[in-house]
Amino acid sequence: MNLISIFNPSDDFTRNLINNTLYYIVEDPSKNNIVNVISNLFSEAELPKSEQYEFTINFLKAEKIAKDGVGEFPITLHEVRKYISLWRSIPKLDKNIFMTFIFNYHFSQKENIYKAQKELKLNTFLFNPVINYDGDKKYLTFKSSKKGKSNQLKIEIKNPKQIETKKLINKFNSMTLTKKLCFLFLMCCVISKKTPIIQGITASGKSFIVKLLAEVLGQDLRIYQLNSNSGISLFTGQSIMKEEFDKKEKEKLKAIFKLLNIKYKKIKDINSKDFTEFQKK
């Protein structure tokens, strides 16, 4: 077994650990290193050179804002892969929208979000979005403006019979532009299969947006209120084996025994205790 410890720099790190280990510090990548990595990843993904240049400029600006800001997470090369993933999943969407999600909202402090918006100039895309359904309610269509033909997204509906078109469109229209942008963010995450996190103060509309997304897509929604005491059993549940197996379960066991070339004559009487012993064996 090889044990390898990796950690970020910290003031409270105990130096005693070094006495019993070999210790190596990986230096921060230089500006040239960063530019080269971005160039290689964009070339590998076959993305346009013009977008690579624009992304690199924004990356370096955002990196500086993160370094100068207090309590902000650093901008890392993970952001490159996020951009490429979004680009591949939704190639027709304005690339400034992707960079807005990746860079502007990387920051937790409002002043740094505003600083990023100003310096990166990413909030310049036209945005007065509308949603609609096709005739059979098989797809939800999202457009960044009513008359615009670009920046259009399409997502398949799960349960068309649940959709109340007029009611849901009115709900969407009642939201502020910021909330509509958050709605677009969630749609992008659904299409690109990325896990989203939404941050905001109590009653800022986070739950409303998530519930509305589920409603307009005809999806079931399950909400978990988490805290520091929540464990994984909240999601998995606690399974308890039954004392007796039903007919279908016994048929499955027969098939398993047959597959394993095991002769078991008492299959009709088998219970959970016998099965546990069999598992141990």
- Region 90-97 average pLDDT: 89
DSSP 144: S
Residue 59's pLDDT is 96
Residue 242's pLDDT is 66
Q: Which two tokens stand for residue 77?
A: 């090369």
CA–CA distance from 241 to each of 23, 81, 207, 238, 272 (Å)? 48, 43, 36, 10, 7
Judge whether residue 11 has pLDDT over 80: no
Q: Which amino acid is at 23?
A: Y
Residue 238's pLDDT is 64
Query: Comparing 186 with 123, which gets the higher pLDDT?
Result: 186
Following CA atoms 201, 206, 208, 212 in sequence, which dihedral angle do they give, to the nearest 10 degrees?
A: 170
Owner of token pair 């998995």 = 236
**Sorting pLDDT into bands at 50, 70 and 90, what band is 167?**
very high
The domain ranges of the chain are 31-120, 130-216, 250-280
**Sorting pLDDT into bands at 50, 70 and 90, what band is 32?**
very high
- pTM greater than 0.95: no
Residue 174's pLDDT is 93
Residue 56's pLDDT is 95
- Region 93-115 average pLDDT: 89
Judge whether residue 40 has pLDDT over 90: yes
Judge whether residue 24 has pLDDT over 80: yes
Residue 240's pLDDT is 64
> What b/e sequence results for 44-83 when a residue is b if at least 16 CB atoms lie within 10 Å of its CB, and e otherwise?
eeebeeeebeebbebbebbbebbeebeeeeebeeebbebb
Query: Comparing 45 with 22, which gets the higher pLDDT?
Result: 45
- Region 176-184 average pLDDT: 92
214-257, pLDDT tens digit by residue?
A: 999 999 898 888 887 787 777 776 666 666 777 888 888 888 88
Judge whether 133 and 95 are in contact, CB under 8 Å: no
Residue 37's pLDDT is 94
